Amino acid sequence: MPSPSYEADALIAGDIDAYLERHATKSLLRFITCGSVDDGKSTLIGRLLYDSRTIHDDQLAALEADSRRIGTQGGAIDFALLVDGLAAEREQGITIDVAYRFFSTETRKFIVADTPGHEQYTRNMVTGASTADLAVILVDARKGILTQTRRHSYLVHLLGIRHLVLAVNKMDLVGYDRARYDAIVADYRAFAAQVGITGFVPMPISGLAGDTITSRSANMPWYEGPTLISHLETVPLDIAADQARPFRMAVQLARRPNLDFRGYSGLIAAGTVRPGDPVRILPSGRTTRIARIVSFSGNQDAAVAGQSVTLTLEDEVDCSRGDVIAAADSPPEVADQFEATLVWMADEPMLPGRSYLLKLATQTVSVQIQAPKYQVNVNTLEHLAARTLELNAIGVANLSTDRPLVFEPYAESRELGGFILIDKIGNATVGAGLLHFALRRAANVHWQAIEISRAAHAAQKNQRPRVLWFTGLSGAGKSTIANLVERRLHAMGRHTFLLDGDNVRHGLNKDLGFTDADRVENIRRVGEVARLMTDAGLIVLTAFISPFRAERQLVRDMLPAGEFVEIHVDTALAEAERRDVKGLYAKARRGALSNFTGIDSPYEPPGQPEIRIDTATMTAEQAAEHIVDRLFALRDEAAFSI
Amino acid sequence: MISLTHLQRLEAEGIHVIREVVAETERPVMLYSVGKDSAVMLHLARKAFFPGPPPFPLLHVDTTWKFQDMYRLRDRVAAESGMRLLVHHNPDAMARGINPFDHGALHTDLWKTEGLRQALDLHGFDAAFGGARRDEEKSRAKERVFSFRSGNHRWDPKTQRPELWRLYNARKGPGESIRVFPISNWTELDVWQYIQAEAIPIVPLYFAAQRPTVERDGLLLMVDDDRFRLRPGEVPVTRSIRFRTLGDYPLTGAVESTAATLPAVIQEMLLTTTSERQGRAIDHEAGASMEKKKQEGYF
C-alpha cells in the first residue's frame, strides 16, 4: 500500500511545474543504518529504494535475474543484492566498505550510509556515522539485543548522533508479537541509559514484508508510533540547530584574484553571518567586521551554517588557510595539548611518540600522541589498559601539537572537534579522533625565557652546534666510527658529546624494550636530549640503530635547518651478521631474541642521508676521516662560525 | 532561520570539495566531457572562485566522434568561464584511424582510457575533477570523493582512504594522482533540478527535436555528420528524439521523445522506466564491468 510520500506520479504527469516547485524546497537528511550480517540491513535499504521508485525497470530486471542466480530468498526478490557493490564482496556475500545510497520522498532527500557487519565494522561505521544526523539501529526480533547492538549504539553515540531509531526488524517472523517487541524495547532502554543515550524512537518493522516502513501495518494495530519514513521526514536536522550557535568559519582559501579584491572562502560551520558583524580571526585574535558576503548572484544579506561562502573583511588583517573567523564575542578556544578519543584505522598500530599529521577543519599540524590512558572494549564498554591502539581499537589519549589549534570540543562541534590522523611517510589516513578538552597544562606551562641564548652558547664555543646522527644495522660499525670521529673533533678543539645506544638504554631509557612503540619512544627521548645539548652549543654524535624513517625525520624536525646530519653506516645484513660482534644475530636466529632489526623487525634505510658510509669499501678510520673532512673543512667551518 | 534546501547543501558540499583540492594539490585540472554532469561541476567551480575564474584549466579528452553540438557548447562555455581549455587527442588512436565503426571496445579504450592517462601525464596533473555520481552504478556507490590512483592510474578498491566528516586527505606519493568527484552525492534528478534552478547552459541534444536517425542493434542512433557509415538498406529517418546521456554519437542511443523543455525532460525522466546508463553501449557487459574498467583507469 503506497503512502502519500510516494503518491507523486499523478502530479508529475499532470502538473510537472507544480511538482518541481514542491521538490525544489526539499531538505536533506543523512542517516546511517547499523546492524550485523543477518539483521536485514541491506534488505531494509533495498526496500527503501524500491518503495521510493529509485529503482528503474532495467535495474529491477537485473535484480530479479540476480535473485534467481545468487539470491538468498529462494528466487524471490532479494533486496540485499540491490545494494551490494564490488565484485569481490558480491562473491563472498559480504559488504566490505561504506556505500552511500540515495532516495527521496515528497519532503526530503536522504543519503544513507550503508556499512557492513563484520570485523572491519568499527572503522567503517565511524566513517559512515561521522556525517549522519540519525542512526537506524536494526535488531532481529527473534534474537533481541545482541553484543553488536550495544557496539553499534556506543559508536553512533560516540560520534555524536542525537537521533536514534531502534528498528525491531523481522516482526513477521515472530508473528507480529507485541510482548516480544515490548521486551526488546525495555531491554534496550536499560542499556541506553548506561551508555548515556538520552532518547530513542523504537518501532516494530519488517524490511522484507514492508511493515511500518511507509505506512502503519494492519498486522500490528497495537503500534501507534510513526512509520520509519514519516519519522525520517520529520526529525529535526542538525544543520538547523547549528544556526543557533555562535558564528564559525574555517578559512579554506584566502583569495586575491585581483588587486581590488581580497576574500576568504570557506564552509560555515556554525551560526549566521551578516555584513557588519564583528568577528575575531583565530589564532591571532585580531578583530574586524564582515564587509560583504560575495556570491555569483550578487552580495548576500546573510549566510548560515552549511553554506560555502566568500567573505570580505573591513580591515586588512592577516588571515589565511587554517585560520578560523568567529563571532568576536564568543570565539572558540586555542590550545596545543588535548585529551581526545582516538579510533585507529590502519593495519599498522598507533605508535605513541611518533609524529603524525593531524587535520582538523582546514588546519594541518604535526601531532604526538601519548600512550593511551585506556582502550575501550566496544562490546562490553570496559576500559582496558593499552600501550598502543591496533586496527579498529578505540582509546583515550593525550596529544600535543606543534602549533596551536583553533578548536571546540567534539560534543559541541563536529567541524572544529573532529580530526583525522595521517601517516607522514605513507600518506594514509590512519586514524580519526574526537577532541574532549584542552589540557590546562598547555595554558600554564610557558617557555621560560632564557637570557643566555642558544647563539651565545655556540659563539662562546666558536662552533656551530650539530647532531651527527649515525644510523644502521646492529654491528654495522656506528659506535666505532662515531668514537673515531669524536676523537678527531676533540683533538681539533671542538666541544662534543657522544650518545651511544647501549649506554642510554642503561639509564635514561632503561624502562623501554624493543617493541616498535618502545623504539619510537627511545628515539624521541634521545632526540630531545640531543636537541638540549645543541642548545648548550655542543656537537652531538649519536649511535643508534634508529630503524624507522619517521623517527629520524622527527628528530630532524626538532632542530634548526642544517643542524641534523644523517650518516648512514651502510653494511649489508649478511656482512653485519657475519661479523656479529656482540653475538646478537646468532641469538636472534635461535629465537632467543625477538624484535631484532634485520631479522624480525624492519630497518628502513635513509632515502637521502647527508653522508653515506659504505663499510665494504672503507675502513672505520677512513670513514671517520671522510666525515670530518666533509663537515669540518676549514672553509665550511668559517661559514658556520657564528 | 534560513532553511537550506537539499540543492543548496549539495552545492555547498561540491564547492567545499573543489576548494579543498585547490588548497591541497599542486596541479589540478577539471575533466570536462560537455555533458550535463560536467556542466553542473563547472558551474560549482565558477561559484567557488567568484569573482575570479577557477584557478585550473578544463581538459576535454576528445575522441573526434562527439556530436557537433557538443563541440560548439564546449568552446562557448570555456570562453565564458575565463578558463583555459585543453583538448587532448590520443595521437596513436589518431594515427591508426581508430573509430567506433571498425574497432568496437578498442575505440573507447584508446581514445578515452589511454587518452586520459596520456593527457594527465603530459601536463603533470596531480588531481583531476570528474563528474561521476554514486547513484550511476553499484560499484560507484563505494567510490570515495577523493579517489587515489597509483602511478599507472590504476584504482585499488582495497586501499581507498576513509573519509570522515568533511576532512579529505589529499596527500600523495610521487607519481600518484587523485580523481575527485565533487557531485558524488547528487542524483540524476538533483542534477536536472539544479540546471533548471541555476539556468546552466547544456547541449541542445538533451531536448527533443526532429533529427536524422537510424535504428541499429537495439539503439536509436543519430546521423550527426557524413562520417556515419550507413549499412546496406539503412536510410536515415527523421524522428523526434533526445538524449539522456551524451558521448560519441555513433555509440550513444537516443530516445524518442517530444520533451523540448527542461520541465518536460524532468517529467519524462521521472516517469521513465529505464535507468540513465542504459543508453551507453559500454555498460551492457557483465555486472562488474564498470569496476573492472575503473581498475584499469577508465574514469
Domain ranges of chain A: 4-236, 242-327, 334-443, 454-640
- Classify the phi-psi angles of A512: left when phi > 0, otherwise alpha if psi is within -120 to 50, otherwise beta: beta
The percentage of residues in chain A with a pLDDT greater than 90, rounded to a whole number, is 44
SS3 call for A158:
helix
**What pLDDT is recorded for position B233?**
86
Looking at the predicted structure, is the pLDDT value of residue A62 above 80? no
SS (H, E, C) A301-367: CCEECCCEEEEEECCCCCCCCCCEEEECCCCCEEEEEEEEEEEECCCCCCCCCCEEEEEECCEEEEE
Which residue has cell 581538459? B59
Note whether A135 and A126 are within 8 A (CB): no
- The mean per-residue pLDDT over the stretch A524-533 comes to 91
Q: At what angle do helices B188-198 and B36-49 cross, to 10 degrees?
A: 50
Spelled out in words, what is the top-level CATH class assigned to the domain A242-327?
mainly beta
Chain A positions touching B272 (Cβ under 8 A) are 56
φ and ψ of B293, to 5 deg: -60, -40
Based on the domain organization, do B60 and B96 belong to the same domain?
Answer: yes
Based on the domain organization, do B102 and B147 belong to the same domain?
Answer: yes
Looking at the predicted structure, is the pLDDT value of residue A356 above 90? yes
B195-199 LR contacts (CB < 8 Å, sep 24+): B195/B36, B195/B39, B195/B40, B195/B262, B196/A20, B196/B262, B196/B263, B196/B266, B197/A24, B197/B7, B198/B43
Based on the domain organization, do B27 and B54 belong to the same domain?
Answer: yes
B6:A102 CB<8 A: no
Q: How confident is the model at residue B224 (pLDDT cuts 50, 70, 90)?
A: confident
The total of structural domains in chain B comes to 2
Nearest CB to B165: which of A26, A306, A414?
A414
**What pLDDT is recorded for position A449?**
54
Nearest CB to A24: which of B23, B193, B271?
B193
Dist CA B171 CA B192 (whole Å): 34
CA B185 to chain A, closest CA, distance in angstroms equals 8
**What pLDDT is recorded for position A510?**
84
pLDDT digits (tens, 9 = 90+) for B98-147: 888 788 788 888 888 888 889 988 999 999 999 989 887 766 777 789 98
- The mean per-residue pLDDT over the stretch A437-442 comes to 73
SS3 call for A510:
coil
**What pLDDT is recorded for position A142?**
93
Based on the domain organization, do B29 and B71 belong to the same domain?
Answer: yes
Residues 6 or more apart whose CB falls under 8 angstroms from that of A226 comprise A201, A203, A234
Residues 6 or more apart whose CB falls under 8 angstroms from that of A588 comprise A594, A596, A599, A600
Chain A positions touching B292 (Cβ under 8 A) are 87
- The mean per-residue pLDDT over the stretch A303-315 comes to 94
CA B55 to chain A, closest CA, distance in angstroms equals 9
Based on the domain organization, do B135 and B225 belong to the same domain?
Answer: no
- The mean per-residue pLDDT over the stretch A231-251 comes to 90
A454-640: which CATH topology?
Rossmann fold (3.40.50)
Q: At what angle do helices A16-23 and B262-271 cross, to 10 degrees?
A: 90
DSSP letter at A197 equals -
* Residue B167 in domain: yes
Residues 6 or more apart whose CB falls under 8 angstroms from that of A326 comprise A246, A247, A248, A249, A279, A280, A282, A332, A406
Nearest CB to A240: which of B3, B52, B166?
B3
Q: How many CB pairs under 8 A join A and B?
A: 204
Nearest C-alpha in A relative to B288: A87
Note whether B179 and B213 are within 8 A (CB): no
Spelled out in words, what is the top-level CATH class assigned to the domain A334-443?
mainly beta
Q: How big is chain A, counted in residues?
A: 642
Based on the domain organization, do B151 and B266 belong to the same domain?
Answer: no
Q: B192, B224, B240 — which closes off a domain?
A: B192
Note whether B279 and B247 are within 8 A (CB): no
* Residue B197 in domain: no
Dist CA B164 CA A25 (whole Å): 27
Nearest CB to B274: which of A56, A304, A432?
A56
**What pLDDT is recorded for position A37?**
66
- Average pLDDT value over all residues in chain B: 85
Q: How confident is the model at residue A600 (pLDDT cuts 50, 70, 90)?
A: confident
- The mean per-residue pLDDT over the stretch A95-114 comes to 82
Chain B positions touching A9 (Cβ under 8 A) are 271
Give Cα B292 distance to the centre of its chain: 18
Q: Which residue has the higher pLDDT, A45 or A136?
A: A136
* Residue B169 in domain: yes
* Residue B291 in domain: no
Dist CA B204 CA B188 (whole Å): 18
Nearest C-alpha in B relative to A115: B142
Residue type, A190: A
Q: B154, B173, B192 — which closes off a domain?
A: B192
Looking at the predicted structure, is the pLDDT value of residue A642 above 50? no
Chain B positions touching A84 (Cβ under 8 A) are 138
- The mean per-residue pLDDT over the stretch B24-30 comes to 95
Looking at the predicted structure, is the pLDDT value of residue B285 above 50? no
**What pLDDT is recorded for position A237?**
85
B47:A295 CB<8 A: yes
Confirm whether A4-236 and A454-640 share one CATH topology: yes
- Residue A400: all three cell numbers together: 600535543
* Residue B198 in domain: no
**What pLDDT is recorded for position A86?**
44
CA A12 to chain B, closest CA, distance in angstroms equals 6
Based on the domain organization, do B60 and B173 belong to the same domain?
Answer: yes
Based on the domain organization, do B230 and B187 belong to the same domain?
Answer: no
The percentage of residues in chain A with a pLDDT greater than 70, rounded to a whole number, is 89
Based on the domain organization, do B72 and B208 belong to the same domain?
Answer: no
Mutation target to probe the A interface, by most A beta carbons within 10 A, among B6, B11, B274 is: B6
Task: Identify the domain containing residue B81 by its residue range.
Answer: 6-192
Neighbour tally for B281: CB within 10 Å: 20
- Average pLDDT value over all residues in chain A: 85
**What pLDDT is recorded for position A296?**
86
**What pLDDT is recorded for position A458?**
85
| The CATH number, out of the four listed (2.120.10.30, 3.90.550.10, 3.10.20.340, 3.40.50.300), of the domain defined by the range A4-236 | 3.40.50.300
- Residue A124: all three cell numbers together: 567503517
Note whether A335 and A405 are within 8 A (CB): yes
Lowest mean pLDDT among A332-341, A399-408, A490-499: A490-499
Dist CA A502 CA B12 (whole Å): 57
Chain A positions touching B199 (Cβ under 8 A) are none
Looking at the predicted structure, is the pLDDT value of residue A552 above 70? yes
Q: B143, B172, B192 — which closes off a domain?
A: B192
Based on the domain organization, do B149 and B186 belong to the same domain?
Answer: yes
pLDDT digits (tens, 9 = 90+) for B70-109: 999 999 999 999 999 999 998 888 888 888 878 878 888 8
CA distances from A567 to A1, A479, A543, A548, A613 (A): 76, 12, 10, 14, 7
Q: If you compute the radius of gyration of chain B from its CA atoms, what whole number of angstroms results?
A: 19
A23-26 LR contacts (CB < 8 Å, sep 24+): A23/A104, A23/A106, A23/B189, A23/B193, A24/B5, A24/B7, A24/B193, A24/B197, A25/B5, A26/A104, A26/A106, A26/A107, A26/A108, A26/A109, A26/B5, A26/B6
Looking at the predicted structure, is the pLDDT value of residue A338 above 90? yes
Based on the domain organization, do B172 and B242 belong to the same domain?
Answer: no
Based on the domain organization, do B226 and B85 belong to the same domain?
Answer: no
* Residue B56 in domain: yes
Nearest C-alpha in B relative to A159: B165
**What pLDDT is recorded for position A157?**
93
Neighbour tally for A391: CB within 10 Å: 17
Q: Which residues of A are catalytic?
A: 546
Query: Would you state the torsion angle of the CA atoms of residues A32, B274, B272, B192, taken in this order, to the nearest 10 degrees?
Result: 60
φ and ψ of A288, to 5 deg: -160, -170
Looking at the predicted structure, is the pLDDT value of residue A605 above 70? yes
* Residue B79 in domain: yes
Q: Which residues pair with A422 in a beta bridge?
A: A357, A429
φ and ψ of B17, to 5 deg: -60, -45
